[in-house]
Structure 1
Amino acid sequence: MRRSGLNIRLLIGAAIALFAVVKYCASAETNPYTGKKQHISISPKEEIAIGLSSAPSMAQQHGGLHPNAQYQQIVDVIGKKLVDNSIAKKSGYPFEFHLLRDDRTINAFALPGGQVFITFALFSKLVNQEGRLNENMLAGVLGHEIGHVIGRHSAARMAKQDLTQGLLSGAAVGFDPSTAQGAAAIANVVNMKYGREDELESDDLGVRLMVKAGYDPRYLINVMEILKAAAGPNRTPEFQSTHPDPENRIEKIKEAIKKYAKR
């Protein structure tokens, strides 16, 4: 009886895992802006809806929007220039750019569908020796985040999470808890690897967008130096992080500059 029960559990677990794999494989498509094959389980309209519905709460987590209309206008103008002069305009995503009040967290991020955010803490770091905002560096930050949107990284991550959850559910049903925990640990490492690849692709796209819009992509390297300094000497090793090491990103950015400067 015990063996029979175990066999049934294994069959059910295998069926759950197989369904997740089949569903994931069936979602394959080629991103027209990157030429990269991806697995996407939601439509662009759904991405836009998710981004719009999530934007207010994300802003609230960072103290709301910054009250300085002049600063916000600068962000809007540079963001719009990047979109209007690049492949991003063809995407159909309704890009909106938001300057957040947060003056402590040095960060920028994008939600699916075109909602892009930068904290005032990072915005205030993008100044030259005369104390003026360096528009090229701001373009680098925003270009990178636009890259995440047209790269559809959030949508691809959702599909990977669905696959991971299906495989873990199958392992939990068909095997003992220790096996399921081992599968979860492996899945976590795989997802971190994909996160690093997304960041590098967004850096590449950011350089591409900057060149098309007339900005100097070398200033994206300056942004990496700011992020490196902000992380401090005790930053998480690359293999344990969803973000690549800043030094590796800088080398890839230099390669992208050579690649797109010839076009």
Structure 2
Amino acid sequence: MRGIVKFIIAVLIAAVSLVTYWCNTQENEFTGEEQHVDMTVEQEIALGLQAAPQMAEQYGGLHQDREAAAQLKAIGQKLVRSTKAGDTPYEFDFHLLADEQTVNAFALPGGQIFITAALLKRLETEGQLAGVLGHEIGHVVARHSAEQLAKAKLTQGLTGAAAIATYDPDNPASQTGAIAAAMIGKLLNMSYGRDDELESDRLAVRLTGEAGYDPRAMMRVMEILEKASGGAARGPEFMQTHPNPGNRIAEIQRAIAEEYPNGLPAGLVQ
């Protein structure tokens, strides 16, 4: 009897999770895609603004170099003003973090974008910085954070249902099923992250080109990131949240060819 009750509860949890996920759909005006999200743009903006101070603190706060920070903001705002990103309701702002050891850049929901001093000092040209910022803008306009949250809730519901259905308090070995379910959920969310990264690369190609920057500079950024990550020491790609930089170069080349079938225009900033 206890097993039947557990099974019914598990089925109900899984059903609610699936229905909630599939019924919450919105069309992304920037990409034209139908997305499963359960928050509004206004909620994304509020969430990003609320999280920004804590995220900055994790990287030593904002950098004291006002000139570098101003240059960062100027290039970021140029990308926004010169492209359709400026037509979105997102409140873009660009921040230079004090961390000179961690090579990283990331975007919070709603348009708060950060880059560490460690990454900035490795970049060689304005076009490369534009490529990094364009990639992060891509995450925002593609609503990747909202998608990730919806997917995480779905995965949590399904893995929770599986754990309830398989757990037996009289049989400790049954915990293996719950552990396996949690691991599968984690790997599924990692694969979503890799897809998001590749989409942001493609969007960055469009954004940088429209703003007058050479999108080929992004390929050099990938080489810089690969060198900073230690290359093969990163481990198997499927266990990483970001695709291998070497693989991303091929995707960027493909995106450039699709976006500019007649070749890139002259005079782009490298």
What TM-score do you get using the length of structure 2 for normalisation?
A: 0.91
| Distance (whole Å) between structure 2 residues aligned to residue 236 and residue 242 of structure 1 | 12
Aligned to 2:234: 235
2:96 matches 1:136: no
**Alignment gaps of 5+ in structure 1:** 128-133
Residue deviations 1:127-162 (CA, integer Å, cap 9, x gap):
2xxxxxx11001000000000001111110000111
Residue deviations 1:207-255 (CA, integer Å, cap 9, x gap):
1100110001010011100000001131122111111111110000011
The 5 A counterparts of 1:191-206 are 191-206=189-204
Residue deviations 1:17-69 (CA, integer Å, cap 9, x gap):
10000000011223221222321011111110110011011111111111111
2:241 matches 1:250: no
SS, match of residue 65 in structure 1: coil
Do 2:61 and 2:97's aligned partners in 1 also have CA atoms closer than 8 Å?
Answer: yes
Do 1:237 and 1:245's aligned partners in 2 also have CA atoms closer than 8 Å?
Answer: no
| Distance (whole Å) between structure 2 residues aligned to residue 180 and residue 87 of structure 1 | 45
Paired residues, what number? 254
Shift of residue 87, structure 1, vs aligned partner: 1.7
| Distance (whole Å) between structure 1 residues aligned to residue 110 and residue 212 of structure 2 | 24
The 5 A counterparts of 1:1-263 are 4-127=1-124, 134-176=125-167, 177-233=175-231, 234-262=233-261
RMSD across aligned C-alpha pairs, in angstroms? Answer: 1.2
SS, match of residue 42 in structure 1: coil
Could you tell me which amino acid in structure 1 is paired with residue 212 of structure 2? Answer: G
| Distance (whole Å) between structure 2 residues aligned to residue 67 and residue 74 of structure 1 | 13
Shift of residue 193, structure 1, vs aligned partner: 0.8
**Alignment gaps of 5+ in structure 2:** 168-174, 263-270
| Distance (whole Å) between structure 1 residues aligned to residue 255 and residue 10 of structure 2 | 44
SS, match of residue 185 in structure 1: helix
Could you tell me which amino acid in structure 1 is paired with residue 8 of structure 2? Answer: L
SS, match of residue 16 in structure 1: helix
Do 1:211 and 1:260's aligned partners in 2 also have CA atoms closer than 8 Å?
Answer: no
| Distance (whole Å) between structure 2 residues aligned to residue 182 and residue 107 of structure 1 | 31
SS, match of residue 33 in structure 1: coil
Could you tell me which amino acid in structure 2 is paired with residue 256 of structure 1? Answer: A
What TM-score do you get using the length of structure 1 for normalisation?
A: 0.94
SS, match of residue 234 in structure 2: coil
Percent identity of the aligned residues? Answer: 49
SS, match of residue 137 in structure 1: helix
Could you tell me which amino acid in structure 1 is paired with residue 190 of structure 2? Answer: M
Could you tell me which amino acid in structure 2 is paired with residue 18 of structure 1? Answer: A
Could you tell me which amino acid in structure 2 is paired with residue 168 of structure 1? Answer: T
Could you tell me which amino acid in structure 2 is paired with residue 92 of structure 1? Answer: P
Shift of residue 172, structure 1, vs aligned partner: 2.2
Shift of residue 170, structure 1, vs aligned partner: 1.3
Shift of residue 256, structure 1, vs aligned partner: 1.0
Shift of residue 257, structure 1, vs aligned partner: 1.1
Do 1:168 and 1:184's aligned partners in 2 also have CA atoms closer than 8 Å?
Answer: yes
Structure number with higher relative contact order (C-alpha < 8 Å, ≥ 6 residues apart): 1
Stretch moving more, 223-232 or 33-42: 33-42
Aligned to 1:130: none
Do 1:29 and 1:38's aligned partners in 2 also have CA atoms closer than 8 Å?
Answer: yes
